[in-house]
A and B are shown apart, each in its own frame.
Chain A
Amino acid sequence: AQSVAQPEDQVNVAEGNPLTVKCTYSVSGNPYLFWYVQYPNRGLQFLLKYITGDNLVKGSYGFEAEFNKSQTSFHLKKPSALVSDSALYFCAVKREYGNKLVFGAGTILRVKS
């Protein structure tokens, strides 16, 4: 079975500072890893994914994530946070050739001006 842990319920960062939202995963075989963002009263929006290749993945809105196989982590990062980045962020994992996308509990990101 696969699982995702997002150890921080909430991350607070000042506007302009770098941000990191942590994610670790557990899955048998090679993982497919995803980040989604959810704004209030909205659906989940896809940010980026890691399938294979370069461990640093770039996505939408200036976000990137780094895959670390030895630490089974896939942390989301952004060099300079914006107030508009404030939202709920979900990490998700899918087993290679699997069907089910399993989500973490989510991390609230608050960016203060």
Chain B
Amino acid sequence: DSGVTQTPKHLITATGQRVTLRCSPRSGDLSVYWYQQSLDQGLQFLIQYYNGEERAKGNILERFSAQQFPDLHSELNLSSLELGDSALYFCASSVDSGRPSTIYFGEGSWLTVV
């Protein structure tokens, strides 16, 4: 158990809908990362927050957005969903940002868009 908690574990929704994925980082970790894992794209970095502020942005679509709240939990919002958004979405956390601290991953949220 990495200590990173993600909900829901599985989600099935229809095209055009909007979903929210939730993440609680490890106790004491200030950085939260979101990754997307799909068969064709592999593990893609989406976005990182550090202590409530956006710190780095990767291949995140404009239809997707994220935020980190004062209690450090984070949410990833996916809207106008398409079939191609079906993937495993990981949240990860680390103590700090640019330093070489280990990044720990949650179990992921399986999203299926039908």
Contacts and interface: CB of A to CB of B under 8 A. Distances in A.
A, B bound? yes
Interface string B74-114: 00000000000000001010000111101111111000000
Contact of A90 (B33, B43, B56, B102): B43
A62 B97 CA distance: 28
B100 A99 contact: no
Interface of A: 32, 34, 36, 42-46, 49, 51, 90, 94, 96-106
B18 interface: no
Closest 7 CB pairs of A and B: A99-B56, A44-B105, A103-B43, A43-B107, A97-B98, A51-B100, A32-B100
Interface string B51-74: 000011010000000000000000
A36 B63 CA distance: 29
Given A43-B105, A106-B42, A98 B98 contact: yes
Interface of B: 2, 4, 31, 33, 42-43, 45, 48, 50, 55-56, 58, 90, 92, 97-100, 102-108
Given A43-B90, A51-B100, A100-B48, A36 B42 contact: no
Nearest to A103: B43
A42 B107 contact: yes
Given A44-B105, A45-B2, A99-B48, A94 B100 contact: yes
Given A99-B48, A100-B48, A100-B56, A36 B97 contact: no
A2 B90 CA distance: 20
